[in-house]
Amino acid sequence: MMDWFEIRQVNRDLWMIVEPGHVVSWLYLGSDSAALIDSGTGIAPIRPVVEKLTRLPIKLINTHYHFDHVGGNAEFAVRLAGAQAEAPLRRHAPRDLLKRYIDGLLPLIADAEAQRAADADVMALTPELALRPFPAGFDAESWRPGGVAATGLLREGDEIDLGDRRLQVIETPGHSPDGISLFDPAHGVLFVGDTLTEGALYAHYDESSLDDLAVSVGKLTRLPAPVHAICAGHVARAIAEVSLIAETEAALKQVASGAPYRQGQDIFGYGLRETRHGRVWVYHSDGRASSFPLHD
Ligand SMILES: [Zn+2]
């Protein structure tokens, strides 16, 4: 049977752990410990996968609290997250949201053609990165990611010591209020969670802020060292091109200037406004009370 995870080694110290069509978690190895950036959907356990790749002690770092990035949190003893994530991490994702997510995916899992049409290059769903059947034993009814408190909170400028490399914490709210990015200035590796993505950049939730997102992306254009690689939460490619930062900044300026948009829909079936600029499609609110709770 096909594994739930697709594992790819980017270089000696960096692995991507992909749940194809869902999310990417990243494993970054230092000399003393390893950082696991996000813990996936929780649809299958992620720790056994990580332990096959390294024997180093693991520091889990959540880029933000959304259910598809925290599903495996309970599997790890060290759990770090942005200070603003403290309260939401304690809560579960609402059942209704999860049901909408699964219901939206099931027809795509069943139909590769529909999957390709819906993907439209967003997640680069090549055959080996196509959506996979849910693993045996997965029970969508009892699937309830979230509800696991952080063991340590991170703030702007904090550093996470992995031994021969360090990750600097950059607060990047906007997609969600608690978003953080992590930057290794010595190696130019930047982990951004959902702050940057090719394709649909979700900024239409009630809790999202286009203004905050613009400030956050602006910060990423002024990092203290050159960026060589962007590791994003949903682009199922090894590394996003660095020009994605400037492209996202330009896309957000388009939205702020009232550029034309089209009506769109997110994976949960909620309506939104979509402004496309190059590779970045900004999802923003249609102004109605479109919002829905992301945690209980
Ligand atoms: Zn998110």
Neighbours of 130 (CB within 10 A): 19
Q: Is the pLDDT of residue 107 over 80?
A: yes
Interval between CA 32 and ligand 1 midpoint (Å): 29
Task: Evaluate whether residue 190 is within a structural domain.
Answer: yes
Interval between CA 221 and ligand 1 midpoint (Å): 21
Interval between CA 263 and ligand 1 midpoint (Å): 21
Structure confidence by residue, pLDDT tens digits, 41-94: 999 999 999 999 999 999 999 999 999 999 999 999 999 999 999 999 999 999
In this predicted structure, what is the pLDDT of residue 116? 74
Cα–Cα dist 193/69, whole Å: 8
Task: Evaluate whether residue 65 is within a structural domain.
Answer: yes
Q: Which residue has the tokens 């992301």?
A: 294
Task: Evaluate whether residue 267 is within a structural domain.
Answer: no
Neighbours of 185 (CB within 10 A): 16
Task: Evaluate whether residue 57 is within a structural domain.
Answer: yes
- Write the CATH number for 196: 3.60.15.10
- Express as a percent the part of the chain with pLDDT over 90: 75
Interval between CA 191 and ligand 1 midpoint (Å): 13
Cα–Cα dist 194/203, whole Å: 10
- Give the pair of three-digit tokens for residue 216: 């956050």
Average pLDDT value for residue range 7-36:
96
Give backbone dihedrals phi and psi of 11, rounded to 5 degrees, phi first. Answer: -150, -170
Whole-number CA gyration radius for the chain: 18
**Out of 38-42, 67-71, 124-128, 186-190, which region has the weakest mean confidence (pLDDT)?**
124-128
Residue type for 214, please?
Answer: A
Task: Evaluate whether residue 79 is within a structural domain.
Answer: yes
Q: How many domains does the chain have?
A: 1
- Residue-number span of the structural domain to which 224 is assigned: 6-92+143-243
H or E stretch covering 159 = strand 159-161
Task: Evaluate whether residue 159 is within a structural domain.
Answer: yes
